[in-house]
Structure 1
Amino acid sequence: MGLVPAVRPQGRQLWLYLLIAVAIFGLGIWLAAAKTVTIIIDNEVHQVVTTWTARVDGALAKAGVVLQPGDRVEPAVTERVTRDMEIRVIRSFPVTLVVGGSEKIVQFAGGSVAELLEQQGIELGELDRVVPDPAQEIAGSQTVEVIRVTKDRVTVEEDIPYGSKEWAEPTLEKGKTKIVQKGQLGLREKVYEVTYENGREVNRELVLTRVVREPKDEIIGIGTREPSKSVITARGPVQYKEVREMIATAYYPGPESTGEWADGITATGVKAGFGIAAVDPEVIPLGTRLYVPGYGHALAADVGGAIKGNRIDLCFETYNEAIQFGRRTVKVYILD
């Protein structure tokens, strides 16, 4: 039996075979690249799709899922799609966020308060407070408040009252007063630690007190001197401090009154004459200025053996004047 020669395909047929082989190979690759993905929205299966897209965002677009601001996608939209992948979409909801007293509405897809603040780029100071607690979960629309807390030290000045003292003032009449030393307020500084929340003072605590200037007491002089009185004389009113009713006699410094040995010199060494009075020094001290109505001004400058107690002896220029004055009861004003 003879050999049958092999039939060689013609050129056109060869190209056809090649195209069919390439198509079958490409179809296999295409089918192999298809991935089944389950889309879950808010924990409910939304759709199962077959997709050839490389990234999660493409798969969502294939399923017709439109993302809203604040929605969270797991895995991230930039992740590559794998076979039998589950793509979860958590829809956001409005949350009222108050920071330092300023309020705004933000979209949040759930999580803790701390995660919300991180999402919004809110940094907390060391003393800031957050309500509710940062660890608390946010499950729906609610208000989250960040209270900005600061502390500062404030110095307050206040007056320290001065006291008042009294002392005896012998140069001042009784019943009268005068300011001997003016009072001066002291100065005290108080340092407070002040707490502010959102710029408003909420607490003030005293941490330090210091005296900058001590107060100076006011000193009031109280008069102790007996008040002066006045009597009308030929020279006009004169001040006196005491008046006595005394028995007055008169004398002449010549021998008619004082004896032949009289020298006219008083016990104090001054020359006797009108205006000189002899007194008992135990009653009226020598050197005291006097005024006697009906006689005039006198100086207690002499003594006499018979002049004791409540008696006064007035000197005249002539013996006759002394005789005319005689003996009488008079008021003796003891002058200042």
Structure 2
Amino acid sequence: MRVFSKLLPKLTWKQLLSGVGMIALIAFSGLMVFETTKTEVTLTENGEKQSIKTHADTVEELLAESGITYEKHDAINHQLNTPVKNGMNITYDEANEVTVKVDGDEKHYYTTTDTVGELLKDEGIQLTKHDNMSLDKDASVEDGMTIAIDKAFQVTVNDGGDKERVWTNGGTVEQLLNEHEIELNKLDKIKPAKDKKVKKDTPVTITRIKKVTEEVKAPIDYQVEKREDNSLAKGKRNVIAKGKKGLVVKEYEVTKENGKEINRELIDKTVKRKSESRIVAIGTKVSAQNLTTLSDKSSSDKSGKVMYMNATAYSSNCSGCSGITATGINLNKNPNKKIVSVDTSVIPLGTKVWIEGYGTAIAADTGSNIVGNRIDLHFPSRSSALNFGRKTVKVKVLD
């Protein structure tokens, strides 16, 4: 320091300033040379463009110089070892990680596409118009996003017998009904249940239940009332009143499944018009000259008499039948009882008879159409009565 102080007077301030200026000039010149020797390139990073001057030799060095870490899924328009040239355009897009769930199956993708639609196209994921996706195809791709896809499939819906194949993305049976605007009524049945999951191989069956009220008009047969008339010759008949059928209205609750009747229940019955009995006078007058002959024959006529009669059949539940015979027998409680309906002028009530193909029976009933050489046989059911039909049979009076 002392030596420098001794020398300083010998130097002029002018010479000192001149030296400092020279050093500054050299430094500035060096800086200018450094800057002018830089290469100028255009770097577009994730869509943002900027102009960069660099001394980097390769694209990889340029990225590192710009603070960009290249990963294998990222997109760049040059190889990393490509030499950097003046005026070069370098485009770099960082890959986004996206999760795609198809029917619950999850896969991860790295993509540099801009939209969801472009991602699906790049990865070969095809959609139909019936498929359901959680995002629109025009939605922007973002890192970490999840795209859920429900692939559509067809199921068979049997609606009251009408079958149709419909598209669905799964979910519950109730959701399927809502999608296709299928409404259920209160009584309708559905299988599987509405809260069950829809599956590809499981058809959906709807049974349409409907209850309607139906009125049926039915005639009421008139009764035949026979009155003995001692002013009328024995064997003669005289119709005093023709008789008139009545009318009953029966109200039924009819249950139908898919339009077909499955049950019918009588809920009300109203007699609109009562029947009027047919009254027939039966002659009992016997001439004096025939009294002796009648007395002689009476004992032999009681039993052993054989006749051939026109036979029909009926059951206790026929239309207009009460189930109670003219003699008071309840056929509803005794459905298997052998009872025949007769014309009392031919076979008196209470007579025991044998009938070909039917067996032994009691004459205990009458009917408006059972007149003369006719007989009506009681059977326990309507079907067995219909099976008998109408035929001529041999009838033997037993007692």
TM-score > 0.5, shorter chain as reference: yes
Query: Separation in 1 of the partners of 2:186 and 2:94?
Result: 53
Shift of 1:223: 1.9
Shift of 1:66: 0.6
Cα pair 1:51 1:62 within 8 Å, conserved: no
Q: Deviations over 1:17-39 (max 9, x none)?
A: 7x8487794379x9788532122
Query: Separation in 1 of the partners of 2:289 and 2:139?
Result: 117
Query: Separation in 2 of the partners of 1:140 and 1:170?
Result: 88
* Unpaired runs of at least 5, structure 2: 1-19, 51-67, 69-90, 291-399
* Unpaired runs of at least 5, structure 1: 231-336
Q: In 2 relative to 1, CA 179–82 (structure 1 residues): closer, same or farther, beyond 3 Å?
A: farther
Cα pair 2:43 2:92 within 8 Å, conserved: no
Q: After the TM superposition, which residues 76-95 of structure 1 pair with which residues of structure 2 at under 5 Å, given as runs? A: 81-95=141-155
Residues 1:207 and 2:267 are matched in the alignment: yes
3-state SS of 2:127 partner: coil
Residue of structure 2 aligned with 1:132, choices 182, 192, 203? 192
**TM-score, reference length from structure 2:** 0.48
Shift of 1:192: 1.2
> How many aligned positions are there?
222
Which residue is equivalent to 1:105?
A: 165
Query: Separation in 2 of the partners of 1:197 and 1:119?
Result: 25
Q: In 2 relative to 1, CA 22–123 (structure 1 residues): closer, same or farther, beyond 3 Å?
A: same
Residue of structure 1 aligned with 2:121, choices 61, 66, 77? 61
3-state SS of 2:266 partner: strand
Q: Deviations over 1:300-334 (max 9, x none)?
A: xxxxxxxxxxxxxxxxxxxxxxxxxxxxxxxxxxx
Q: In 2 relative to 1, CA 33–216 (structure 1 residues): closer, same or farther, beyond 3 Å?
A: farther
**TM-score, reference length from structure 1:** 0.56
Shift of 1:112: 1.1
Q: Deviations over 1:199-256 (max 9, x none)?
A: 22222222211111111111111224344879xxxxxxxxxxxxxxxxxxxxxxxxxx
Shift of 1:59: 3.0
> Whose helix proportion is higher, 1 or 2?
2
Query: Separation in 1 of the partners of 2:106 and 2:174?
Result: 29
Residue of structure 2 aligned with 1:73, choices 130, 133, 140? 133
3-state SS of 2:200 partner: coil
Q: Which moved more, 1:56-65 or 1:188-197?
A: 56-65
Q: In 2 relative to 1, CA 112–181 (structure 1 residues): closer, same or farther, beyond 3 Å?
A: same
Shift of 1:175: 2.6
3-state SS of 2:165 partner: strand
One-letter amino acid of the structure 1 residue matched with residue 173 of structure 2 = V
Which residue is equivalent to 1:26?
A: 49
Q: After the TM superposition, which residues 167-246 of structure 1 pair with which residues of structure 2 at under 5 Å, given as runs? A: 167-227=227-287
Residues 1:37 and 2:98 are matched in the alignment: yes
Which residue is equivalent to 1:114?
A: 174
Q: Deviations over 1:166-189 (max 9, x none)?
A: 223343112322111112111111
Residue of structure 2 aligned with 1:161, choices 221, 226, 229? 221
Identity across aligned pairs (percent)? 29
Which residue is equivalent to 2:55?
A: none
Q: CA RMSD in A?
A: 3.5
